[in-house]
Amino acid sequence: MAEPHYLSGETLLPGTVGAVDDHFFRRYRTLLDAEDAAFDELEHAYEDGDRASYESDLAMWHTAIERRSSFLATHGLSAGALNV
């Protein structure tokens, strides 16, 4: 019987750098949650008409997106990399 990917050191996706395992998905979920929370704050500032908070929250949302994109790129994944 073949070893599970997390024991054999294999990746789940061809072309990825490092293992795509439970740790990867936990970290990715954390980054998605941070992005979602930043967007929620941005949405509230927009709805309230608070320009100063909107500008600050927009920068935080962009930072969250960049962190997620950087994480994916580090693992050999990006929006253009998955040509299915």
- Residue 70 · residue 79 · CB < 8 Å: no
pTM over the 0.75 mark: no
The angle at the Cα of 61, spanning 47 to 75, to the nearest 5 degrees, equals 150
pLDDT digits (tens, 9 = 90+) for 6-52: 555 554 555 555 668 899 999 999 999 999 999 999 999 999 999 99
pLDDT digits (tens, 9 = 90+) for 1-10: 455 555 555 5
Residue 49 half-sphere exposure, CB side, CA atoms within 13 Å? Answer: 0
DSSP-assigned letters across all residues of 8-61 = HT--SSTT-SS--SHHHHHHHHHHHHHHHHHHHHHHHHHHHT-HHHHHHHHHHH
What pLDDT does 79 receive? 66
